[in-house]
């Protein structure tokens, strides 16, 4: 699961800010503002260098600038909340907006983990299946298509039903009892 820069900033600020006094929150806002300015300037300089030198784009400085901008915005939000609420320290549990975002991130993470587990299970099941490609001569192929058409199936579905009914004798002979393909 990929978190946005805002998600990362909210999580970091929530963890780092827990129990932080209002004065320290103000310092974090100032520090984030400086980092945001520095990283944005670095991105601008790299863009100019790239355009002059014709180099390839480097995503890391841009991502870092984006993260610091998001972190600065989140620290400002926390500072405004602490000041408006009159709290001596930032308490993430009392921050209804931050708590809602944290719950949403947790929910999305759980969904992603469940989807990943389901994907792994499907892959495990698929690994146990046998897939094959069958080339059928024109005559038998025509008969196979006719049987599939009468049953409202595809030729592949008829072949799958055929394979499901295969019997292997003690001498290794492979046979299939007569059957009528069906849905």
pTM summary value: 0.56
Q: What is the H or E stretch that residue 125 is in?
A: helix 96-128
d(CA 115, CA 123): 12
Q: Beta-strand (E) ranges in 33-170? A: 166-168
Neighbours of 70 (CB within 10 A): 21
Return the top range by mean pLDDT from 18-22, 37-41, 64-68. 18-22
How does pLDDT run across 87-100, given as a tens digit for each residue?
999 999 999 999 99
Residue 114 tokens, joined: 């469940």
Contact 72, 35 (CB under 8 A): yes
User: Where does the pLDDT of residue 50 fall: very low under 50, low under 70, confident under 90, or very high at 90 and above?
Assistant: low
How large is the greatest C-alpha to C-alpha distance in the chain, in angstroms? Answer: 87
d(CA 59, CA 7): 19
Report whether pLDDT(6) > 50: yes
Q: What is the pLDDT of residue 59?
A: 56
Average pLDDT over residues 79-107: 93
Q: What is the pLDDT of residue 100?
A: 94
Percent of the residues in the chain that have a pLDDT greater than 90, as a whole number: 69
Q: What is the H or E stretch that residue 176 is in?
A: strand 174-176
How does pLDDT run across 119-168, given as a tens digit for each residue?
999 888 887 777 778 889 999 999 999 999 999 999 999 999 998 899 99
Percent of the residues in the chain that have a pLDDT greater than 70, as a whole number: 92
Average pLDDT over residues 43-63: 64
Helices (H), the chain: 5-17, 22-53, 59-85, 96-128, 138-151, 155-164
The backbone torsions φ and ψ at residue 174, rounded to the nearest 5 degrees and listed phi first, read: -100, 130
Average pLDDT over residues 100-105: 92
The backbone torsions φ and ψ at residue 168, rounded to the nearest 5 degrees and listed phi first, read: -110, 120
Q: Which of 10-14, 54-58, 75-79 has the lowest mean pLDDT?
A: 54-58
Helix 5-17 with 59-85: angle, nearest 10 deg: 50
């Amino acid at each position: 699961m990929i978190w946005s820069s805002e998600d990362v900033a909210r999580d970091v600020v929530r963890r780092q800010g827990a129990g932080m006094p209002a004065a320290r929150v103000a310092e974090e806002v100032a520090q984030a503002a400086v980092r945001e300015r520095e990283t944005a300037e670095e991105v601008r300089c790299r863009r100019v260098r790239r355009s002059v030198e014709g180099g390839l784009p480097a995503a890391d400085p841009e991502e870092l600038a984006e993260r610091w901008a998001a972190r600065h915005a989140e620290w400002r939000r926390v500072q405004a909340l602490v000041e408006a609420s009159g709290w001596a320290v930032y308490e993430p549990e009392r921050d209804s907006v931050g708590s809602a975002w944290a719950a949403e991130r947790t929910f999305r993470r759980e969904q992603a983990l469940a989807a990943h587990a389901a994907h792994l299970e499907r892959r495990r099941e698929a690994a146990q299946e046998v897939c094959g490609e069958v080339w059928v001569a024109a005559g038998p192929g025509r008969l196979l298509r006719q049987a599939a058409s009468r049953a409202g199936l595809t030729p592949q579905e008829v072949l799958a039903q055929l394979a499901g009914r295969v019997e292997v004798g003690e001498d290794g002979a492979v046979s299939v009892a007569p059957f009528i393909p069906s849905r």
